[in-house]
Amino acid sequence: MSKMKLLRKFMKGNLLLYTGAIISVALATVASMISPLVLRTVIDSIIGGKPIEAPDFIIRIIENLGGRTYIAQNLWLCAIVLVVVSVLNGIFLYTKGKWSSKAAESIAKNMRDWLYDKLQNLSYDYHVKAETGDLIQRCTSDVETVRRFIGIQLVEIGRALFILTAISFVLFRLDTELAMVSLAMVPVIFLYSYFYFKKVKKSFKASDEAEGRLSNVLQENLTGVRVVRAFGRQAYEVEKFKARNLEFKDITYELIRLLAWYWSVSGGICMLQIGAVFVMGVYRTAIGEMSLGTLTAFNTYIGMLLWPVRYMGRILTDLGKMMVSLDRIGEILNKEDERSQVEGEKPPINGDIKFKNVYFEYEKGKPVLKDLTFDIPEGKTVAILGSTGSGKSSLVHLLQRLYDYQDGSITIGGVELKRIDKKWLRQHIGIVLQEPFLFSKTIKENISLACTNTTDEEVCDVAKTASIHDVILNFEKGYETPVGEKGVTLSGGQKQRVAIARTIIRNCPILIFDDSLSAVDTETDAAIRKALKERSRDVTTIIISHRITTLSEADKIIVLEQGKVTQSGTHEQLIQEEGLYKRIWELQSSLEDELYSQIEHQQAVGAN
């Protein structure tokens, strides 16, 4: 999608509001044009004695009201007209403000919702590689830039253009020569603002960067407070901070001085323009070529005109920034996500899993799994032992279709995995990741995260199974304790147990534990496994672990080395074979040998 298409998509559904806002701006501009004209007529013709210069219908209204003399005796009528005109102006300004902000906020909401939805549905691989900080920047400040531009600044540009046209029109009608003088400075101010802000951007950036360096020193000092103290480097740190503080002060002061130039020079230009018109106007009025009322009107109009022009120059410099932001948002939204693929089948999922000659690689030419063949019968527990980088995590990722295999076949209940709908599959396979992410909700909400209707008993029940119930009750607010910044910080092992609870509550026919008890001590590990066995007898379970006690209880053990199955069988079979499994199992006895030799060594040395 191109930028313009994207923009149109964001604005969709808000066109009516937008049009309303623009029309309001136009009407408000027209209304604001009227009061100086009213003042002019009053000064020249009602108070003064000149004939009224106005469209016929106005003259007719004045005559119907009782003519000039009547109005002169009842000047409050004019005051009422002024107020009415300004009420009209006010109403339009209000509708403009209301409608344009409604449109802008709806557009911003659309952008945010789309981005969030997109991010959630991008592939697993995308999120493995994603840089959170950069993504958040795009979702927040870039969205804000676009919102401000299309929501506020665009309408302001419209306003400036309306004012420029309307005022030029009226001024030329009133006095051609003076109108030309009046508009002389408009392009100058516009260009001055435009180029000034283009230039000053660098200084803004320099100031931001200096502030970044300042807060970086502060942040590092605070997080490294132990190191600072331990080396007694307080004075050194103060010097370091002072240098950055001074740098920030100087650079930012430079920026303020630049801004001072801008405000004083552009203000001066505006005032000189007003002054020139005034002096010339006075001259023309004095020699009788213009009326006093016209002079007052000119004065007011020029004041109305110059400030929006100055602002417009500034806004246009932001256009480039908006385009960049739009690009950055577009980069996310234009990525292909998981939903764009065809919807798959939804067969019953029981748990009969077969791997046949499966080949998988993340990068071309670097296979992670090669020629993998084994099967997992329904309702059985299979344990996988493998060294780092053996591909065991990849194997379970394939089962949830977080990644797709390149060659070979995996079937569940006889149906090829690639044909099964991803969400359907994930609903039936529960997986506990090694480093689970908990959301900043209460513990209860975290456990029942994936279910819609859960009772408190169910939550307690799974928490007990995961051996976390007692831990939770120890917190002050129990299950209602919030997790994360605003609540308790859970240890790695506690997090893993909450993750187990939130997975088993879903009652999936297939459960996968990806080394998900690694941070739990061995006794708790055993307790959890026992409780799990009682709870889910018929569930097909895959456990990845390096603990021999965990492995040994499985119906079948698969040893994975460098992407291949090197051994498989029961514990009894495997301890008879030479291989990784046996070596690990033998550690048990080697430990005792080791301890004996240590004690012997000590006795021999006779120390202490």
Dist. CA 106–CA 13, nearest whole Å? 9
Query: Over 51-108, what HEC string results?
Result: CCCCCHHHHHHHHHHCHHHHHHHCCHHHHHHHHHHHHHHHHHHHHHHHHHHHHHHHHH
Query: Binding other proteins by CB under 8 A: which of 287, 363, 457, 537?
Result: 287
Parallel/antiparallel/unpaired status of strands 564-569 and 415-416: unpaired
348's tokens: 């019953």
CB of 475 to other proteins, least distance (A): 14
CB of 401 to other proteins, least distance (A): 10
Sequence-separated (6 or more) residues with CB below 8 Å from residue 173? none
Please list every residue from 246 through 265 that binds other proteins, using CB under 8 A: 246, 248-249, 252-253, 256-257, 259-261, 263-265
Which of 188, 191, 271, 473 is close enough to bind other proteins by CB under 8 A? 271
- Identify residue 233 by its one-letter amino acid code: R
- Can you tell me whether residue 214 is helix, strand or coil? helix
First-last CA distance in the chain: 78
By CB under 8 A, the residues from 30 to 69 that bind other proteins are 35, 39, 42-43, 46-48
Task: Order across the sheet with 510-514: list the strands.
Answer: 429-432, 510-514, 540-544, 381-386, 556-561, 564-569
Give the pairing type, strands 429-432 and 353-363. unpaired
**Segment lying near other proteins (by CB under 8 A), choices 60-68, 448-456, 460-468, 533-541:** 448-456
Pull the structure tokens for residue 405: 């295999």
Closest approach of other proteins to the CB of residue 136, in Å: 5
Q: Among residues 246 and 356, whose Cβ is nearest to other proteins?
A: 246
With CB under 8 A, what is the number of residues at the site for other proteins? 155
Q: Looking at beta carbons only, is 82 or 323 nearer to other proteins? A: 82
Piece of the chain touching other proteins by CB under 8 A; list 56-64, 107-115, 344-352, 371-379: 107-115
- Rounded CA gap, 500 and 467, in Å? 10
Residues 511 and 376: their CA atoms lie apart, in Å, by: 12
Q: Does 188 bind other proteins (CB under 8 A)?
A: no
Tell which one of 13, 66, 275, 320 touches other proteins (CB under 8 A): 275
Contact map string, positions 304 to 343, toward other proteins, x by CB under 8 A: ----------------------------------------
Give start and end residues of each alpha helix (H) in 176-233.
176-183, 186-223, 225-230
The reply on whether position 146 binds other proteins by CB under 8 A is no
- Which member of 64, 230, 340, 365 binds other proteins (CB under 8 A)? 230
Of 539-598, binders to other proteins (CB under 8 A) are: 546-548, 561-562, 580, 583-584, 587-588, 590-591, 594-595, 598
Q: How far is CA 522 from CA 373, 534, 548, 555, in A?
A: 31, 19, 10, 20
Compute the distance between CA of residue 220 and CA of residue 180 in angstroms, rounded to an integer. Answer: 61
The tokens 């004695």 sit on which residue?
49
Say whether residue 101 binds other proteins (CB under 8 A).
Answer: yes
Among 267, 362, 530, 597, binds other proteins (CB under 8 A): 267
Nearer to other proteins, 221 or 568 (CB): 221
Pick one of 121, 409, 507, 552: the residue that binds other proteins (CB under 8 A): 121
* Contact in structure between 184 and 273 (CB atoms under 8 Å): yes
Please report whether residue 180 would count as binding other proteins according to CB under 8 A: no
Say whether residue 231 binds other proteins (CB under 8 A): yes
* Of 183-191, 369-377, 412-420, 431-439: span binding other proteins (CB under 8 A): 431-439
352-411 binders of other proteins (CB under 8 A): 386-390, 400, 402
Is 473 a binding residue for other proteins by CB under 8 A? The answer is no
